[in-house]
């Protein structure tokens, strides 16, 4: 959809008072009068705008704050689009450290309530919103749409662009209580070939390449657990960092199921999760390979290759201290900024783990969820005085026009369409290429959209050679290795819990989490024996492990039975 660049130029000349910012007090009514009262600019009547007040988080990063969203070119275009539908925004932006307390206090008191609350990765997420809904504090979105969305365009957008997500957001009482951030399937178009492929973000370990070479080895693409142990021990024993002390360690959690659990077929869930390549929700403590995984971790600890430092020291600090032989995270995570004074070959490169080291016969990997998904809860409190205006705003949000502004930015500045109608991103040009998502407004205040494939390079040639290598690794993984993988998806979508299920989660999750964290660490450190595993299982079950698993299985089954995503 074509954007009017002229609108951008006009918008940048607007007065600062055109749109109310975070913390400013503006009510409904007309825009500021001109210097000539009673005379409209350009001979036209000014449009009366309705203010939609949003309560949201502020700190997207150290430098990107929601309260500053209006300064970007894409925001000025967005402001004009909102004016055309008679809407302006007033944001109250709360620091991330205070946001949960502020939101829950407001909901409890009912005082100083906004029209829309952006519950974006806060507290218990949907469970909190459902509890408020049961107390009559939240409007059912479906009822609002029946009243105000006459053409049904919002739900139609869900069904077309992220099929299954509307059903997956439906509570047990048949209502949907929030608008959602929608993400598609990660399809990308290779600029060189024009071929579509599904870009995925694998959870992997990355190893310090120069340390491997310092002990006379070359980095392998894939390691078995034993091979990983051998190279970690060699780097440790031979002082790979050259500081005269054998202090090289791997950053592998000792109190939860870190990435070395993958080759043993353990799922990523602390309490439970779906199994690799399967649909059964289960606990790792029932897995026959759990003892072998713990014994491997014990072997690492006993040889000084991991230590209890990681319980209270950040990965970033240990990288800065030049101690980490292995780090964890997505393969494309940028550790470059942590060690800016080093040469590019003194960095971390992704590696894979597999029990037999043969990727062609399948290998386990944690990967971000590849199906269309709905994240976060943007909900309308029942105290909202003008729900019609909120639906009018959302009628614009759930359109291609907003989605493109949110995902890419302004056409002609941030992206263009090629001769095949594919989206091609343009070289970065300061703030001109910023998307509405990157201003923080299009995530922390209004739903993010990540739905459209774009023509993309395999790597960013403007990036450092280190980052280009990592980006190419992700490309090659997506194209060549992912089709052979046995993936498991952490945080797989689940149907909203019923009132009874929330009660089970509330009663059991805290105790189970505390017990599992302590038990896992004690087993690795040798404070508890694997010989007593049956006793530990009894204790877990007495804390409600099976009831918790049953709840998660029921939610998983309900989601997929109502979703059109899974084949």
**Is the pLDDT assigned to residue 526 strictly greater than 50?**
yes
Start-to-end Cα distance in the chain: 32
1-10, 75-84, 302-311, 404-413: least confident range:
1-10
| Ramachandran angles phi, psi of 268, nearest 5° | -85, 0
Same domain, 303 and 363: yes
Percent of residues, the chain, with pLDDT higher than 70: 89
Mean pLDDT, rounded, for 409-417: 95
Long-range pairs, 540-544, Cβ under 8 A, ≥24: 540/283, 540/285, 540/512, 540/515, 540/516, 543/508, 543/511, 543/512, 543/515, 544/504, 544/507, 544/508, 544/511, 544/512
Note the pLDDT tens digit of each residue in 196-205.
Answer: 998 888 999 9
Tell me the CA distances in angstroms from 19 to 87, 89, 281, one per residue in order: 10, 7, 48
Window from 61-75, 97-111, 195-209, 399-413 with minimum mean pLDDT: 195-209
Same domain, 53 and 79: yes
Does any domain span residue 542?
A: no
* Residue 412: DSSP 8-state: T
Q: What is the pLDDT of residue 56?
A: 98
- Domain identity same for 322 and 215: yes
Flag whether 13 is in a domain. Answer: no
Range from 13-27, 192-206, 431-445 that averages highest in pLDDT: 431-445
Total domains in the chain come to 2
Residue 33 resides in a domain: no
Task: Report yes or no on 3 lying in a domain.
Answer: no
What is the rounded (10 degree) CA torsion for 19, 21, 26, 28? 50
Angle between helices 400-407 and 73-84 (to 10 degrees): 160
My answer on whether 108 and 179 are in the same domain is: yes
Same domain, 393 and 413: yes
In whole angstroms, how far apart are CA 25 and each of 19, 81, 93, 385?
A: 11, 22, 13, 16
**Do residue 251 and residue 322 come from a single domain?**
yes
231 pLDDT exceeds 60? yes
Q: What is the mean pLDDT of residues 554-563?
A: 84
Q: Is residue 566 over pLDDT 80?
A: no
pLDDT at 441 over 60: yes
Does some domain include residue 38?
A: no
Q: Which of 8-22, 43-57, 365-379 has the highest mean predicted lDDT (pLDDT)?
A: 365-379
Q: What is the pLDDT of residues 349-388, one digit of tens each?
A: 999 999 999 999 999 999 887 788 899 999 999 999 999 9
Task: Write down the pLDDT at residue 339.
Answer: 67
Q: Which residue has the higher pLDDT, 6 or 264?
A: 264
Kindly state the average pLDDT of the residues 25-35.
36
Q: Which of 456, 478, 499 is the last residue of a domain?
A: 456
Asked whether residue 66 falls in the same domain as residue 159, the answer is: yes
Give pLDDT, residue 341.
67
Mean pLDDT of 224-229: 98
The pLDDT score that the predictor gives to residue 42 is: 47
Backbone phi, then psi, for 412, in 5-degree steps? Answer: 95, -25
Is residue 271 situated within a structural domain?
yes
User: Is the per-residue pLDDT at 11 higher than 60?
Assistant: no
Mean pLDDT of the chain, nearest integer: 88
Percent of the chain exceeding pLDDT 90 equals 71
Whether residue 241 is found in the same domain as residue 177: no
Q: Which of the pair, 38 or 197, is modelled with greater confidence? A: 197
**pLDDT at residue 446 above 70?**
yes
Looking at the predicted structure, is the pLDDT value of residue 38 above 80?
Answer: no
How confident is the model over 93-100, as a mean pLDDT?
96
Q: Do 63 and 149 fall within a single domain? A: yes
For residue 23, is pLDDT > 80? no
Confidence of residue 462 (pLDDT cuts 50, 70, 90): confident
Co-location of 451 and 469 in the same domain: no
pLDDT in tens, 478-491: 999 999 999 888 76
For residue 17, pLDDT over 70 is answered with no
Tell me the average pLDDT across 143-165: 96
Q: What is the structure's pLDDT at 179?
A: 98
| Domain assignment of residue 345, given as a range | 202-367+459-488
Is position 159 within any domain? yes
Question: What SS3 class is residue 39?
Answer: coil
Q: What is the largest CA-CA distance in the chain?
A: 87
Q: Say what the pLDDT of residue 344 is.
A: 66
CATH code of the domain containing 242: 3.40.190.10
pLDDT band at 447 (very low <50, low <70, confident <90, very high): very high
Is 16 inside a domain boundary? no
Find the DSSP H helices in 464-532: 465-476, 499-525
Determine contact, residues 351/209, Cβ cutoff 8 Å.
Answer: no
Residues 357 and 378 in one domain: no
Q: Tell me what pLDDT residue 20 has.
A: 40
pLDDT confidence tier of residue 16, bands split at 50, 70 and 90? very low
Query: How confident is the model over 322-344, as a mean pLDDT?
Result: 77
Whether residues 265 and 241 fall in one domain: yes
Residue 7 has pLDDT above 60, yes or no: no
Overall average pLDDT of the 194-219 stretch: 93
């Amino acid at each position: 959809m074509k954007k009017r660049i002229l609108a951008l130029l006009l918008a940048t000349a607007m007065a600062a008072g055109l749109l109310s910012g975070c913390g400013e007090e503006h009510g409904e009514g007309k825009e500021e009068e001109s210097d000539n009262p009673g005379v409209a600019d350009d001979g036209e009547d000014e449009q009366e705008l309705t203010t939609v007040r949003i309560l949201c988080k502020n700190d997207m990063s150290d430098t990107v704050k929601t309260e500053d969203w209006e300064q970007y070119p894409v925001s000025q275009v967005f402001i004009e689009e909102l004016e055309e539908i008679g809407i302006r925004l007033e944001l109250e932006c709360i620091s991330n450290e205070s946001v949960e307390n502020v939101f829950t206090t407001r909901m409890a008191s009912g005082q100083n309530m906004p029209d829309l609350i952006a519950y974006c990765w806060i507290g218990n997420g949907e469970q909190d919103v459902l509890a408020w809904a049961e107390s009559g504090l939240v409007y059912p979105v479906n009822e609002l749409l029946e009243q105000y969305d006459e053409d049904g365009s919002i739900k139609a957008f869900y069904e077309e662009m992220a099929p299954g997500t509307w059903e997956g957001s439906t509570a047990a009482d048949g209502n949907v209580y929030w608008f959602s951030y929608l993400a598609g399937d990660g399809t990308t178009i290779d600029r060189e070939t024009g071929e579509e492929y599904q870009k995925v973000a694998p959870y992997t370990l990355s190893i310090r390449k120069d340390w491997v070479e310092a002990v006379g080895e070359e980095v392998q693409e894939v390691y078995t657990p034993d091979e990983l142990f051998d190279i970690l021990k060699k780097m440790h024993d031979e002082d790979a960092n050259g500081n005269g002390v054998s202090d090289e360690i791997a950053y592998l959690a000792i109190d939860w199921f870190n990435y070395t659990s993958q080759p043993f077929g353990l799922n990523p869930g602390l309490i439970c999760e779906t199994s690799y390549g399967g649909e059964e929700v289960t606990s790792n403590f029932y897995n026959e390979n759990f003892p072998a995984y713990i014994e491997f971790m014990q072997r690492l600890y006993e040889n000084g290759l991991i230590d209890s430092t990681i319980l209270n020291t950040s990965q970033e600090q240990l990288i800065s201290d030049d101690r980490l032989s292995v780090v964890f995270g997505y393969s494309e995570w940028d550790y470059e900024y942590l060690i800016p004074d080093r040469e590019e070959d003194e960095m971390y490169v992704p590696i894979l783990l597999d029990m037999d080291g043969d990727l062609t016969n399948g290998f386990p990997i944690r990967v971000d969820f590849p199906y269309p998904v709905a994240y976060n809860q943007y909900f309308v409190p029942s105290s909202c005085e003008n729900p019609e205006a909120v639906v009018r705003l959302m009628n614009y949000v759930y359109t291609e026009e907003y989605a493109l502004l949110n995902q890419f930015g302004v056409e002609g500045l941030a992206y263009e369409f090629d001769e095949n109608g594919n989206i091609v991103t343009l070289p970065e040009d300061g703030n001109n290429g910023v998307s509405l998502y990157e201003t923080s407004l299009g995530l922390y205040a209004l739903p993010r959209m990540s739905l459209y494939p774009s023509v993309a390079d395999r790597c960013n040639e403007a990036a450092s050679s280190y980052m280009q290598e990592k980006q190419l690794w992700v490309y090659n993984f997506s194209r060549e290795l992912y089709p052979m993988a046995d993936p498991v998806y952490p945080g797989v979508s689940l149907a909203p819990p019923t009132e009874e299920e929330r009660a089970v989660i509330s009663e059991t999750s805290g105790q189970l989490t505390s017990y599992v964290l302590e038990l896992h660490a004690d087993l690795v450190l040798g404070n508890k024996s694997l010989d007593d595993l049956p006793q530990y299982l009894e204790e877990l079950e007495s804390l409600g492990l099976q009831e918790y698993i049953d709840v998660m299985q029921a939610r998983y089954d309900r989601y997929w039975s109502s979703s059109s995503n899974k084949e």
